[in-house]
Amino acid sequence: MKKILVAVISLFLATALHAQELPETQIKDVNSGKKVSFNQTFEKGKVTLISFWATWCVPCKKEIKNISLKLPEWKKEADFNYMTISIDEARAEGLVRTYAISQGWTFPYYIDANSDLKRSLSFQSVPFTIIIDKNGKVAFTHTGYEEGGEAEVWAKVKELAAAK
């Protein structure tokens, strides 16, 4: 029953997200310390995979680790970008930075310290994954993570990256 409820909620959120423009909500680039509009973090004409996470979320960290291990192989097959956005509070920014460095992240990582973006996108929990298509529209959303779940995400990224 729980899985059905999660699927229905995910479908509802996906439909709602697909209908909206990407918000201009400010997030902070943890490396540079500069704030940037969420809708300006995407490269035009390129698919972007985004993992929302938190330092206290074990499934989030597992998902990002599994994706980052596969990124070199995936990048050979499809042209896309990957980034993460932490929903930790502002006081945890140092933890976000330290964790990302300790994991050797070479992709961009941001923090949504006041949960403004989380509210703008209307999701409740992490891990939360979004794929933005080449036209800058939400093409896919997924809540939660189970070991191997990145395969579904990868299939969608590949499909969208191949689309004209």
pLDDT digits (tens, 9 = 90+) for 43-79: 989 999 999 999 999 999 999 999 999 999 999 999 9
Coil/strand/helix, residue 25:
coil
Q: Is residue 12's pLDDT more than 50?
A: no
Report how many domains make up the chain: 1
Average pLDDT (15-40) is: 83
Q: Is 145 exposed, middle or buried (0-12, 13-18, 19+ CB in 10 A)?
A: buried
Average pLDDT (111-139) is: 95
The DSSP output letter for 124 is -
With cut-offs at 50, 70 and 90, classify the pLDDT of residue 21.
confident
Residues 6+ apart with CB under 8 A from 56: 88
We report the CATH number of the domain holding residue 142 as 3.40.30.10
Mean pLDDT lowest among 58-62, 81-85, 146-150: 146-150
Mean pLDDT lowest among 16-25, 26-35, 72-81, 98-107: 16-25
Q: Whole-angstrom Cα distance, residue 157 to residue 65?
A: 17
* Amino acid, single-letter form, for residue 99: Y
Find the domain containing 25 and state its range.
Answer: 2-162
Q: Is residue 33's pLDDT more than 80?
A: yes
pLDDT of residue 20: 54
Q: Which residues pair with 65 in a beta bridge?
A: none
